Every structure is written in structure tokens, then in C-alpha cells.
Amino acid sequence: SGGAQQVLRRLKPKLIDTLSADPAFVLQHADSLSLLARHEYKQVKALTDPSKQAQDLLDHVINKGPTAAEQLLQLLTGKEMQDTFPNLLFLKELPVNDQKAAGEKGTGTTCKDGSKMVVEKDLMHVARNIGRSWRAIGTGALDIPSVKLDQIQEDYPHSHVDRVFAMLRYWSTLKRQEATAANLHSLLSQGDWALPPDSIDFLLENPFAIMLALL
């Protein structure tokens, strides 16, 4: 699916406006992920107009296809980019599942059965409510391999919330269409690792989600 490409196309004016504050920074990161061919990198780097740099960088990546577009989207929602460009916070409101984000306006965050896809804001909220049992939740409730949890632990050695957020984001990417708020609520309210209802009930704000959870 070209979901991520469509998201980048739709947000291009906003992204150009934001990234033109420091296009060289984005270019270096995009280059480290091999998102640009050598000649494309040199061409963008040689431009003197920051807006044109941001625009050409986005165009090159969008034209490369869905995988490159998804990688760029993930890069832009990462902590380093959000710290450098606080205006990128608007990306946090996008549904985590890029294919959903590519849907028509108004349907982008809802599944056919009316249940809401989780957005990053939801995941961050949940992450703040998960304590030291995060690994047990990861393997037991979310079916994440322990080798992946080890990698997340290495990536975020100092911030517990960032660690848990990365784990939840990995789950949502893995589950794609199944990464609904109702589904996450159901997984986190069962078994030995069940979280207190008041810390996750916000996931069921959608009435359809509440009905599904009760079924």
C-alpha cells in the first residue's frame, strides 16, 4: 500500500514549512537511512533555498515508493526530529498505522466495525501507566519476542516511558489493521499483567469500542 506516500503528499506543504528551518539536519538523517541515491543527496545538498531543499528531499523519497516513505515518516515522528522541529508534533496525531492514515478524511482513524485505531498520543498515555512489569506485558499480552524487547531496552537505556512507548509502537506497526484502541484495551485488561481500569479506559471513549470490548 502507498499509505505513507499519500500521507507525505497530503502533508507536504506543512512539512516543507517545518523542515525548511534546518533541511541539512533532515538530509543527514535521511542519508544515514540510505533513503536517497548519492546523486540525489548531492543535488539536494547543493541547493541554497531551504524550502526547495525540503521539497526536493520529500519528492525524492515519495517517488521511491511506500517503503522509503514509511521510513521517512517514522524518522520524522522520532524523538530527535520532534526535539529539533517542535512543529512536527502534528504528526503525533496521525494514526500509527500509515495505511489508515492514507484513508479518506474522517475514515482515517476508524475501522469498518467502528473501532478506533490507536494514535501515538494514546500509546504515550498508556506508556506512562505501565510500570516495571513492561517486559511481562510485552511478551505475555502483546506477543512481542524477548529479543525485540532487549533491543528496545538497549535503544532507550535511560527513559522508561520511551522504552514502553517504543514497545507499544512496535506492537501497533506489527498488528496494522488490528491495532485498535479496543484491542489494546482488551489485551491490557487481562491476566496477571492487567492494568488498573482507570489507566486504560480512555481507550474506550468510542461507544462502538465499548460495545466490542463487552462482547
Does 197 fall in a domain? Answer: yes
User: Which CATH number belongs to the domain containing residue 124 in this structure?
Assistant: 1.10.533.10
Does residue 133 share a domain with residue 58?
no
Q: Which three cell numbers stand for residue 41?
A: 543527496
Query: 132 and 83 in one domain?
Result: no
Quick one: 88 and 127 in the same domain?
no
Beta bridge partners of 119: 95
Same domain, 166 and 85: no
Mapping DSSP to helix (H, G, I), strand (E, B) and coil, where does residue 119 land?
Answer: strand
Residue 159 lies in a domain: yes
**Is residue 132, in this structure, part of any structural domain at all?**
yes
Q: Which residue's entry shows cell 525485540?
A: 148
Q: 133 and 206: one domain?
A: yes
Same domain? For 145 and 84 the reply is no
Question: Does residue 103 sit within a domain?
Answer: no
Q: What is the pTM of this model?
A: 0.48
Domain count of the chain? 2
> Are 85 and 152 in a shared domain?
no
Q: Is residue 107 part of a domain?
A: no
**Whether residue 170 sits in one domain with residue 132:** yes
Condensed to tens digits (0 to 9), the pLDDT of residues 169-206 reads 889 888 877 788 888 988 898 877 788 888 888 887 65
Residue 101 within a domain: no
Per-residue pLDDT for 212 more than 70? no
Mean pLDDT score of the chain: 80
Residue 125 lies in a domain: yes
- 93, 111, 139 — which closes off a domain? 93
Residues 130 and 210 in one domain: yes
Distances (CA, A) of 30 to 35, 57, 58: 5, 9, 10
**CA distances in angstroms from 63 to 3, 37, 56, 207, listed in the order given:** 13, 12, 10, 40
What tens digit of pLDDT does each residue of 73-118 get? Answer: 888 888 788 888 888 877 766 655 543 444 333 334 555 444 577 8
Residue 58, pLDDT above cutoff 90: yes
Flag whether 114 is in a domain.
no
Looking at the fold, whether 124 and 210 belong to one and the same domain comes out as yes
**In this model, does residue 210 exceed pLDDT 60?**
no
Q: Which of 93, 128, 156 is the last residue of a domain?
A: 93
Biggest alpha carbon–alpha carbon distance for the chain: 59
* Residue 55 grid cell: 521539497
Structural domain boundaries, residue 33: 3-93
Whether 20 shows a pLDDT value over 80: the answer reads yes
In percent, the amount of the chain with pLDDT more than 90 equals 22
Q: 15: alpha, beta or left, given left = phi > 0 and alpha = psi -120 to 50?
A: alpha
**Worst-scoring range by mean pLDDT, 60-69, 86-95, 148-157?**
86-95
